[in-house]
Amino acid sequence: MTDSLASDNHKQLRGWVADRLRADIHEGRIQPGEWLRQERLAQEYGVSQMPVREAFKALVAEGLLEQYPYRGVRVVELSSDDVEDLYATRSFLESRAARAAALNITDEEIRELKEIQTELTTYSQPEQANFYRPLNRNFHQVIADASRRPYLIRALNQMWEIFPAMLWNILPLTTSSSLPEMVEPDWEEHKALIEALENHDPGLCEKLAREHIEKAGKKLLAAMRGNP
């Protein structure tokens, strides 16, 4: 095996381990606040410890894991204050992305948003969260990509990686009702945003995106803080 081929295989393995670990966190098999051990995960994933160690570094950089000197690595666990800050930041970034998207979005991207929105309306129950969340992220991702603003897209990608773990953290508080971004008003908000994008109205797109994220944040914070 050549050095180049060995290097490529190592990168693929490192990426596979990072993807597997990320999915285990997003889907709740590994919980927020849980400490991770290289040895155990290497054995579970059937790999050596090196790609696990490198996957830890990648997910720490994403903000999904936290590194503690002399103690190890654990899954990030967000407080209500953290969530409030994240949603405030997300509303600012996504509203800017929506404003830029209004000027740059293509007809093909509009069609894609409509198709995603149609599929989203088929999921509304808490037990369907694993189906809804990736679609919902894809909806917001299309808008971000349509902004053609690389920095905004990178910043939002990093932030979105944190949200599934955070949602699992408060899942026991929300299992009796729909999750914050799984309710009918959100569908209507999505439809209004699509229409504003189709009309290439930057000011309205910015306003609708900001209000949409702020409302979702308030619902989640209310659930976390035990408010009705």
| Widest Cα–Cα separation across the chain | 62
| Cβ atoms of residues 190 and 49 within 8 Å | no
- Cα–Cα–Cα angle for 121, 195, 134, rounded to 5 degrees: 35
Considering the domain architecture, whether residues 86 and 163 belong to the same structural domain is answered as: yes
Domain count, the chain: 2
Considering the domain architecture, whether residues 57 and 145 belong to the same structural domain is answered as: no
Considering the domain architecture, whether residues 47 and 106 belong to the same structural domain is answered as: no
Instruction: Tell me how far the alpha carbon of residue 131 is from its chain's centroid.
Output: 13
Q: What's the CATH code of the domain at 197?
A: 1.20.120.530
What is the pLDDT at residue 173?
45
Considering the domain architecture, whether residues 171 and 94 belong to the same structural domain is answered as: yes
Considering the domain architecture, whether residues 119 and 217 belong to the same structural domain is answered as: yes
66 contact partners, CB below 8 Å, separation of at least 6: 60, 73, 74, 75, 76
What is the pLDDT at residue 3?
54
Considering the domain architecture, whether residues 122 and 145 belong to the same structural domain is answered as: yes
What is the pLDDT at residue 89?
94
Considering the domain architecture, whether residues 55 and 143 belong to the same structural domain is answered as: no
What is the pLDDT at residue 83?
85
Residues of the chain predicted below pLDDT 70? 1-8, 125-127, 129, 163-185, 227-228
What is the pLDDT at residue 164?
59
Instruction: Tell me how far the alpha carbon of residue 147 is from its chain's centroid.
Output: 18
Considering the domain architecture, whether residues 100 and 12 belong to the same structural domain is answered as: no
CA-based nearest residue to 193, from 50, 87, 97: 97
> Where among 75, 109, 124 does a domain terminate?
75
**H or E element: which one contains 181?**
none
- CA–CA dist 198, 162 (Å, integer): 30
Considering the domain architecture, whether residues 94 and 202 belong to the same structural domain is answered as: yes
Residue 157 to residues 2, 140, 162: CA-CA distances in angstroms?
A: 35, 10, 9
The pTM for the full model equals: 0.78
Q: What's the CATH code of the domain at 52?
A: 1.10.10.10
Considering the domain architecture, whether residues 134 and 200 belong to the same structural domain is answered as: yes
> Where among 47, 75, 103 does a domain terminate?
75
Domain around 193: 80-225
> Where among 25, 40, 75 does a domain terminate?
75
| Cβ atoms of residues 100 and 149 within 8 Å | yes
| Cβ atoms of residues 192 and 185 within 8 Å | no
Considering the domain architecture, whether residues 63 and 152 belong to the same structural domain is answered as: no
Tokens 């285990």 label which residue?
A: 24
What is the pLDDT at residue 159?
86
Token code pair at residue 137: 């992220």
